[in-house]
Amino acid sequence: MSAPDTPDDTTSNQTPRVAVLGTGLMGSAIARSLLNNDYPVSVWNRTPGRCDPLRELGARTVTTSTEAIRDNDVIILMVLDYTAARTLLMDAADHLQGKTIANLVTGSAAEAEDLSAWVSGQGADYLDGIIAAYPGDIGKPSTLFYYAGNVAAWSRYKTLLTALAGAATYVGSKPSAANILDAAMTATFHTVSIGAFLEGMSYARSAGVDLSEIKRTLPYWLDLLSQEINVALDSIQADSHTTDQATLETYLVALRTINKAMVGDGERANLLGAAVDNLERAHAAGHGQEALSAQILTAKANT
């Protein structure tokens, strides 16, 4: 991933007109936050009735997505996927010149790069973003969005974009950078971590362990996890995985035993099993006496 460009903090003095295309739970939350910050907002949804609550709050409802794109400066896409997003933009291709497209749809890195190139070819600025939050978090100072793409668009509309997420961050001109972080953090880290936690809770509950004890000690484990992740990041950046603490082999021996016990007690333990497989691969490659972070050296499919 390329290093982020350094954006200016310049913003336009003229209040931009904003269209939100897609008013599901998240799109509606975004539109409400914009209205609360006194932005003129137009909303569109394939099911028009979903826009009614926003009209009552002051949003302008439009009958077609092309009308919404034509009449506004910033277009926020909150539709199902990149295919739907591209279709809406292609329908309004004659009106894209000079617009800024903020695409907050989940997709792949390749889709982000492809759509950015097409939008830029129509004379519009493109920002690809990911939402690291729930609808109830929109508008809060601590809420995180990642944005990537046209640095001038980020600088021009930073005030607007941080009204949606106070901790919004620009991560570089490479359009796919935000999408890659979505895969790395939202999907791989956040969601899989919760899944692994739930695997463990299934085992503990089935064994009759009082889960209130888990809750009591949870701050310790979260703090330990944060420490371990920071150590791993330092090791990855230094390209050195030496340790004077627990080795990868130590983890592997323990996890083999635990995985066997959980499966023997009727748990599927899929994520734990995957963790054991990753450790086995790294161990077989000669990294057994290195730190747990050495798994990254065998994470690629061809290693």
What are the pLDDT digits (tens) for 127-157?
A: 999 999 999 999 999 999 999 999 999 999 9
DSSP helix, strand, coil percent of the chain (3-state; round to 5): 55, 10, 35
Is there a contact between 48 and 23 (Cβ–Cβ < 8 Å)?
Answer: no
Residues in contact with 193: Cβ distance below 8 Å, sequence separation at least 6, in sequence order: none
Domain(s) labelled CATH 1.10.1040.10 in the chain stretch across 187-298
Confidence of residue 1 (pLDDT cuts 50, 70, 90): very low
Domain(s) labelled CATH 3.40.50.720 in the chain stretch across 18-173
CATH of domain 187-298: 1.10.1040.10
Say yes or no to pLDDT of 299 above 90: yes
What pTM value is reported for the model? Answer: 0.90
Confidence of residue 5 (pLDDT cuts 50, 70, 90): low
Say yes or no to pLDDT of 303 above 50: yes
- Please give the CATH superfamily to which domain 18-173 belongs: NAD(P)-binding Rossmann-like Domain (3.40.50.720)
Say yes or no to pLDDT of 122 above 70: yes
C-alpha–C-alpha distance, residues 83 and 298, integer Å = 34
C-alpha–C-alpha distance, residues 251 and 136, integer Å = 39
Is there a contact between 246 and 292 (Cβ–Cβ < 8 Å)?
Answer: yes
Question: How big is the chain, counted in residues?
Answer: 303
Say yes or no to pLDDT of 107 above 60: yes
The per-residue pLDDT for range 203-216, each reduced to its tens digit, is 999 999 999 999 99
C-alpha–C-alpha distance, residues 238 and 33, integer Å = 42
